[in-house]
Amino acid sequence: MKKLFAFILKNNFVVVFILMQIFCYSIMVNREGFQGSKILNSSNAVAANVYQTASNTQEYFSLKQQNQILSFENAQLRNLLKSNYTAIPLKLFTKNDTLYEQQYSYLSAKVVNASVNRRRNYLTINIGKNQGVDRDMAVIASNGIVGIVTDVSEHFASVMSVLHKDVRINCQLKKDGSYGPLIWDGKNYEYCNLTDIPTHAKIKKGDTVITSELSGIFPEGIMVGTIDKFERKQNEPFYTAKVKLSTDLKIVNFVYVIKNKFKTERDSLEINTQKQIDD
């Protein structure tokens, strides 16, 4: 025992280093875990407020671009206005509203911080728990998907961007519905890979890729991007396609958080089923 203490005293530099390193690893491991240490992420108050201030200044530099995007979206929405349609004077088309229940609702938010060149990219947005944001909600921009909420604080939320090494979003071809997970290989922020597309799918360059209901997070039919090229690797029964994302994640500034009202119901059902299988 005495020798051990003597050893530690003599090598205290190395010992302290190792102890601190263990502390760092424990933060990393906790973060990956379910409860997760919520201290170290950009939705915490200090970091988020610094980013908020910085982004308020930066906003002015991209006003023109953002205006274009928003006016484009306005035009799209205007097309949907009721006044654009001529009423058909027949009583055939009565619509019973009780048949439809709203499943998804949208919250608008501003991006206060974002990155595209790390291997794990995150965005910070300026709405949080107080506005009803929760983990695992989908985040989209006006022209395509952006990511998934991973952490929330009172007024901010961290969003795992699609440009993240662990992200897997189920997407499908708009044409025939063949689906596969969308993953990012870390090379270029404009492209993702759509893998596991069955070879009988009639895939073509320029095909539209949309989100699939299977993801459980995104509503079906949100634009993802277009196929840039595709290939079938040797001995693999699947296509791997390179998808050009429709959202430019480098300039994304205003986003929508999608709230799925049936999510808890669906999740608990799926967990119950899984439990029955396990038993």
Partner 1 sequence: MTTEILKYLFKIITIILVQVLIIQNLYLSNYIVPYPYVLAILILPFETNKLLVLVYGLLIGLSIDLFNNTSGIHASAALLTAFARYYILKYVSPRDGYDKAVKPIVYDMGLKWFIVYAGSLILIHHFYFFYFEAFRFTEFFRVLSRVILSSVVTFGFCYLFQYLLYRQPNNNAK
Q: Which parts of this chain interact with partner 1 (CB under 8 A)?
A: 12-13, 16-17, 20-21, 23-28, 30-31, 37, 40-42, 44, 46-47, 50-51, 54, 58, 113, 115-120, 122, 158, 165, 186-189, 250
Contact by Cβ (8 Å): 242, 229:
yes
Beta bridge partners of 183: 193
Q: What's the min distance (Å) between Cβ of 252 and partner 1?
A: 13
State which residue, 1 or 46, has the beta carbon closest to partner 1: 46
State which residue, 205 or 233, has the beta carbon closest to partner 1: 233
State which residue, 27 or 271, has the beta carbon closest to partner 1: 27
State which residue, 44 or 193, has the beta carbon closest to partner 1: 44
Q: Count the residues in the chain.
A: 279
- In whole angstroms, give the CA distance from residue 250 to residue 266: 33
CA-nearest of 173, 106, 174, 179 to 146 is: 106
Q: What's the min distance (Å) between Cβ of 165 and partner 1?
A: 7
Q: What's the min distance (Å) between Cβ of 172 and partner 1?
A: 26
User: What does R_g of the chain's alpha carbons equal in angstroms?
Assistant: 23
Q: What's the min distance (Å) between Cβ of 23 and partner 1?
A: 8
Contact by Cβ (8 Å): 157, 167:
no
Strands 208-211 and 223-231: antiparallel
